[in-house]
Structure 1
Amino acid sequence: MSTHTPHEDRDLARKTAEALSYLHGFGNLHSSEAMAGALPDGNHAPQRPPLGLYTEQISGSAFTEPRGGNRHSWMYRIRPSAQHGAFRRIGGGGFHGLADAEIEMNRSMWSPLPDPAPGTDFVSGMWPLGGNGDPAERTGMAVYLYAANTSMKDKVFSDSDGELLITPQAGELLVHTEFGPLHVKVGDVALIPRGVRFQVELLDVSARGYVAENFGRPLVLPELGPLGANGMANPEDFRAPTAAYDEVERPVEVIVKYCGELWGSVYDHSPLDVVAWHGNHVPYVYDLNRFQTVGTLTYDHTDPSVFTILTSPTDTPGVPNMDFLAPNWRWSVAEDTFRPQYYHRNISTEIYGVIKAPPGRTGVYGAPGSISVQNMMTPHGVVPEADSAATQAELRPERIDGHLMCAYETRLPLKFTRQALDSERRHPDYDSLWQGFERRFGR
């Protein structure tokens, strides 16, 4: 156990985070070893792996998935993952609550989470907003907010139901994974693949943010089509960790989310003991500010799908299980155009989390830390004041800056947890934002 103060622990962790090196390229077949000679040479599962390690493969796709979509990694670890006692259902933790979720048609917004109780870590600080689909059927997604003030100590988590997108809104994270650590800053998003074990260490006194859980097919970069070879999120900007192993020889609690429930077991060692690895089923961190925005240069507002960073495809081309978007700074130059997003009703459900916003500008999406949902076919758009300003503005090139959001679009309506529907943080008068439009017809 650490003999340092919490402040000293955070300082040490920050120095570790700032010194990390990464591998680059989304979907690449990466290789990394924390000790020279740990990776086998010539085959994946030799009779006697180097350095007395154990060979293990983790598959994020079916064995027979076509090569372009196949996700798997070989790991060379101090002990195999099979060395553990029975898992048992456990209570607590914010991942509960989705089983009894309910449909709510109305537009909804929630204020930021309050400060958590002392001793709240990333797992216990999860607050489920809602979800859809079925993790056992590998379809749909879920959305959470998190608020934590304690690092995960001798605790490791993994999600067998899907992959996780962790987007901090406040407070930096050092995420220790089986493949190595990731430094996740405000303005970043971390992708943790299905089944990969990890531990979240706080680099600040507290942390809060958003988590999306993708039950469907693994997230990929969207196709660029007529855009050609460049634009949107560039593969080389995704950073994968380099190997770093944990030799902890003491009890470690391992929590697994499995078919919507939390299960726990106590290991006599840390499962983050991978000394070397090779594959493409790996975690990533991505700086949202590196996104190369695409938009109109002439007239009309381009559909928000151009902000898509990652997408989970389905068997129906062009209909994703979920998209992850991040509307960021950009230039607006369209002529004779209502420049804000036009009023619309969408077959998809839109979910917006605010990472940062200019002071005093909250509007439809709320203050930083808020989250809003426009469910399937729910009318939405800008409020009357913004409409009036947009229709009367002298149109000249304008840099839209000072804000950053993360957004999720999903093909199914979102069902909300009971605690979300009953929460005092839910805005009861959200619909009032769209009242008071003046009648202009005939003028």
Structure 2
Amino acid sequence: MSAYMSGFGNEFESEALPGALPRGQNSPQRCPFGLYAEQLSGSAFTAPQGSNRRSWLYRIRPSVLHARNFRAAELPLWETAPCRTTTAHPIDQMRWGPTPLPDGAVTFIEGVRIMTTAGDADARIGMAAGVYVATRSMADTYFYNADGEILIAPEQGALIFDTEFGRIDAGPGEICVLPRGVKFRVSLKDGPARGYLCENYGAPFVLPSRGVIGANGLANARDFLTPVAAFEDSQRPSVMMVKWGGRFYVCDTPSSPLDVVAWHGNYAPYKYDLSLFCPVGALLFDHPDPSIFCVLTSPSAQAGVGDVDFVIFPPRWQVAEHTFRPPWFHMNVMSEFMGLIFGAYDAKPSGFVPGGVSLHNAMLPHGPDAAAFEIAIHAELAPAKLENTLAFMFESRLSQHPTDFALTHESRQADYAACWDGLPDRFERQRP
């Protein structure tokens, strides 16, 4: 049974056994119940107070007993930046159909297929984006990512994330974020699963600045949920897998690493229901920038610009007068990895389907296809609600480089750019 505490970036405390949390100091000489005190730091010790991330874990066995004597492992489809493909390819706009579910038994970790990378994981700048497919649960296998945090957006089938901090379940229309270094196991909740994944090498995701919007709207902190403490006291031999420096390693562990009986801090996994996002938009005329749909951002050293922005396009009312309502044609310094969780996207009524992906890289033009343009310029501009739709973007200030997997993917639409061929020359040359 999953249980949660609400809030984003707050200091939490949770104990699975009453009295397990020490009071008055973080690492007493003897912890309650004979537990070990261990700090998990998600930032440098000297980071400014507002960006300092850490949690104290009170566990049955210290992590050093779970993660040592590693040997190399292979997950060749989980690429890490910098990654420059050896496959020659144009810089065109690209689009793919859904990745088919595999016939055999594949866990969440084995099913990660990275499609683009940007930046440098060792420099802690940039991201990787892709999809995952899973047909079986991780049994007696655990994982943590030392290269970055992971944002998961299910598209088909729900997942259960058993973490050191407690259990999180997430299905289509929700996201789960697993911070760098947090150990977890993934189980299928209701059959085979597929979805999207972003590995963020840079600063942890935070809520974007609302600016003149003020204190309310967009994603509100109270709607983010962090799990309450739960622990496994298992003596069953297991396997720990780690992603570190773009490579994978495994080791044997004599017991479950999910043995945290109590914890407190502000560095923990969390989930968010995207239906709780409160959109803002134009109430009279014109089409605002898509940044108004930003849920989370990973800030960069450039003020106001994210290494990664997680942006959604949810159901919403459109009321603007004398306005072209779909996203306009544009070229952008940001690169855009886009996916569709359900429904249809108003700028691409056909060809872009749930489970699919599009990539519009930095300074490459894109916009609504010919059919969407024709519908939009003739539409009656009465108030209208976009319903049964949920699309998203992993947007980055860095160029995203397609992987060999993406470039050779069976569902890559070689004729994607033809969606704009029907746009006519509309210039009225005969008018004075």
Q: Is the 8 A contact 2:97 2:353 kept in 1?
A: yes
Given the alignment of the two structures, is residue 47 of structure 1 paired with residue 59 of structure 2, yes or no?
no
Q: Is the 8 A contact 1:155 1:199 kept in 2?
A: yes
Q: Could you say which residue in structure 2 is the equivalent of 1:167? A: 153
Given the alignment of the two structures, is residue 218 of structure 1 paired with residue 204 of structure 2, yes or no?
yes
Which 4+ residue blocks in structure 1 deviate beyond 6 angstroms? none
Given the alignment of the two structures, is residue 88 of structure 1 paired with residue 71 of structure 2, yes or no?
yes
Match of 1:391, SS state, is helix
- Over the aligned positions, Cα root-mean-square deviation in angstroms equals 1.6
- Superposed counterparts of 1:412-427, under 5 Å: 412-427=398-413
Q: Could you say which residue in structure 1 is the equivalent of 2:389? A: 403
Separation in structure 2 between the aligned mates of residue 241 and residue 166 of structure 1, nearest angstrom: 16
The structure-2 alpha-carbon separation of the partners of 1:238 and 1:97, relative to structure 1 and needing over 3 Å to count, comes to closer
- Match 1:125 to one of 93, 97, 111: 111
Unpaired stretches in structure 2, ≥5 consecutive residues = none
Of the structure 1 ranges 301-310 and 114-123, higher mean CA displacement relative to structure 2 is found in 114-123
Query: What TM-score does the superposition give when structure 1 sets the normalisation length?
Result: 0.93
Separation in structure 2 between the aligned mates of residue 115 and residue 440 of structure 1, nearest angstrom: 44
Q: Could you say which residue in structure 2 is the equivalent of 1:372? A: 358
Match of 1:385, SS state, is helix
Separation in structure 2 between the aligned mates of residue 333 and residue 180 of structure 1, nearest angstrom: 43
Separation in structure 2 between the aligned mates of residue 124 and residue 418 of structure 1, nearest angstrom: 17
Q: Is the 8 A contact 1:323 1:410 kept in 2?
A: yes
- Match 2:317 to one of 331, 337, 340: 331
Q: Could you say which residue in structure 2 is the equivalent of 1:308? A: 294
- Superposed counterparts of 1:68-107, under 5 Å: 68-83=50-65, 84-92=67-75, 94-96=77-79, 100-102=83-85, 105-107=91-93
Q: Is the 8 A contact 1:87 1:264 kept in 2?
A: yes
Separation in structure 2 between the aligned mates of residue 259 and residue 218 of structure 1, nearest angstrom: 18
How much has 1:308 moved relative to structure 2? 0.4
Q: Could you say which residue in structure 1 is the equivalent of 2:428? A: 442
Of the structure 1 ranges 382-391 and 173-182, higher mean CA displacement relative to structure 2 is found in 382-391
Q: Deviation per CA, 1:364-395: give whole Å up to 9, x if none.
A: 66111001110001111111121111111121
| Matching residue's letter, 1:352 | M
Q: Could you say which residue in structure 2 is the equivalent of 1:67? A: 49
Separation in structure 2 between the aligned mates of residue 392 and residue 298 of structure 1, nearest angstrom: 19
Of the structure 1 ranges 185-194 and 383-392, higher mean CA displacement relative to structure 2 is found in 383-392
Separation in structure 2 between the aligned mates of residue 98 and residue 63 of structure 1, nearest angstrom: 26
Q: Could you say which residue in structure 2 is the equivalent of 1:9? A: none
Match of 2:374, SS state, is helix
Separation in structure 2 between the aligned mates of residue 424 and residue 209 of structure 1, nearest angstrom: 17
- Superposed counterparts of 1:9-28, under 5 Å: 16=1, 20-28=2-10
Given the alignment of the two structures, is residue 433 of structure 1 paired with residue 401 of structure 2, yes or no?
no
How much has 1:117 moved relative to structure 2? 3.2
| Matching residue's letter, 1:432 | A
Match of 2:125, SS state, is coil
Separation in structure 2 between the aligned mates of residue 69 and residue 92 of structure 1, nearest angstrom: 33
How much has 1:85 moved relative to structure 2? 3.1
Of the structure 1 ranges 310-319 and 361-370, higher mean CA displacement relative to structure 2 is found in 361-370
Q: Is the 8 A contact 1:93 1:126 kept in 2?
A: no
Q: Deviation per CA, 1:48-81: give whole Å up to 9, x if none.
A: 0000000000000000001100000000000000
- Match 1:383 to one of 362, 369, 379: 369
Of the structure 1 ranges 407-416 and 97-106, higher mean CA displacement relative to structure 2 is found in 97-106
How much has 1:416 moved relative to structure 2? 1.1
Q: Could you say which residue in structure 2 is the equivalent of 1:57? A: 39
Provide the identity percentage: 44
| Matching residue's letter, 1:437 | L
The structure-2 alpha-carbon separation of the partners of 1:257 and 1:44, relative to structure 1 and needing over 3 Å to count, comes to same
Given the alignment of the two structures, is residue 287 of structure 1 paired with residue 273 of structure 2, yes or no?
yes
- Superposed counterparts of 1:211-290, under 5 Å: 211-290=197-276
Separation in structure 2 between the aligned mates of residue 192 and residue 348 of structure 1, nearest angstrom: 25
| Matching residue's letter, 2:45 | F
Count matched residues.
425
Q: Could you say which residue in structure 2 is the equivalent of 1:348? A: 334
Match of 2:313, SS state, is coil
How much has 1:214 moved relative to structure 2? 0.5
Separation in structure 2 between the aligned mates of residue 413 and residue 382 of structure 1, nearest angstrom: 22
The structure-2 alpha-carbon separation of the partners of 1:70 and 1:25, relative to structure 1 and needing over 3 Å to count, comes to same
Query: What TM-score does the superposition give when structure 2 sets the normalisation length?
Result: 0.95
The structure-2 alpha-carbon separation of the partners of 1:213 and 1:318, relative to structure 1 and needing over 3 Å to count, comes to same
| Matching residue's letter, 2:12 | H
How much has 1:330 moved relative to structure 2? 0.6
Q: Deviation per CA, 1:281-337: give whole Å up to 9, x if none.
A: 001100001000011111111110111000000111111101001110111011111
Match of 1:326, SS state, is strand
Q: Is the 8 A contact 2:240 2:250 kept in 1?
A: yes
How much has 1:406 moved relative to structure 2? 2.3
Given the alignment of the two structures, is residue 189 of structure 1 paired with residue 175 of structure 2, yes or no?
yes
Q: Is the 8 A contact 1:165 1:189 kept in 2?
A: yes
- Match 2:15 to one of 10, 15, 33: 33
Separation in structure 2 between the aligned mates of residue 77 and residue 283 of structure 1, nearest angstrom: 17
Match of 1:428, SS state, is coil
Q: Is the 8 A contact 1:365 1:371 kept in 2?
A: no
